[in-house]
Structure formats: structure tokens, C-alpha cells
Copies of this chain bind each other. A is one copy, B any other.
């Protein structure tokens, strides 16, 4: 995955996650992150607007990948299958980032502000999937419902994956979670 290679961005990300873990997000400065990565603050700001963006820059990429997967699913597929394809694409990309995802989640879990930011990112992801479904011709409320349910599936699977309480295959965990949703809503 070219996107995730350990270039300047990757080195800064690793340094930031290490420092956030050691001294908390609130107590870490950009200067410290740059120094730990062996780079300058100027380089830091070439990649990230601020230290919080180190944790959230991937959301945009993830959203693009998911919306693309949704759009390229055959038009004949029902909405939940298109969402399943988007979730699978996300799972596949994240699978290679397990160590980073695990550290990132610990940092986010330790801060109310970051947990709120994460929620907002997930809501915007759900909104983007809903828009994608509407572009495929799914009716408005159905699109919203399906997208939101898909994000719920993703969150449960991601949580199992990142806390290591389940086998280490995120795409499989996502499929399991989707099955579970089908079970819960079946009459």
C-alpha cells in the first residue's frame, strides 16, 4: 500500500503515537513529535495541520476508498451489499495497519475530546455512504438507514479487532458482524 509507506508522514505518525502513549495527547507538543521522528517542525506542518490531525488524517483516505468501493459495486446489488463492499475495502486497507490502529485507539480512548472527534468522523463517514447510496438510486431514508447500520457493523468489528478479543482478520470480523445484524433484525 503506497499510501501507508513509512515516509516522513509515517515516521511522524509513529513518533506521535509513541509520545501520546507515553505522556498523553494533551501533554505532547509538535516540537517533541518532530524531534522524536528526527525531522523538523516545518516538515511536520507539511504533512499535518496540527497534532490532532496525526490521528485523523487517515479518515479522509478511508472515506474515499469506501465511497469508491460503493460506487463500483454492480448497480444491481441491493444497498446493504454495496455497503458491505465498502466495509470490506476499509477492512482490507486497515488490516495492514493493526499496530498503528491499536495504539491510536488507546490514545483516543483516553481523551473525551478525541472520542468526540472520532464520533464526528464516523458520522461523516456514514453521511458519505448514505450520499453514495442515493447516487446509486436508493431512496433517501433507506440510504441513511443502511449507511448507519453499516457503520454500526464496522464499529463493532473494528472494536473486536483492535482490542484483540477476536481473531486478527478485520474483513472477516466485518462479515461476521454483518451476519449478526441480519440475525438481530430477522423476524
Contacts and interface: CB of A to CB of B under 8 A. Distances in A.
A31 interface: no
Nearest to A187: B182
Interface in A159-186: 159-160, 177, 180-182, 184-186
Interface residues of A, number: 29
Contact of A177 (B145, B156, B180): B145
Main secondary structure of the interface of A (DSSP, over half): helix
Nearest to A116: B120
Contact of A79 (B119, B120, B152, B184): B184
Contact of A185 (B141, B155, B160, B182): B182
Interface of A: 78-80, 116, 119-120, 123, 141-142, 144-146, 148-149, 151-153, 155-156, 159-160, 177, 180-182, 184-187
22 contacts: A78-B184, A80-B184, A80-B185, A116-B116, A116-B120, A119-B120, A119-B123, A141-B159, A141-B160, A141-B180, A142-B184, A144-B152, A145-B156, A145-B177, A145-B184, A148-B149, A148-B152, A148-B156, A149-B184, A182-B185, A182-B187, A186-B186
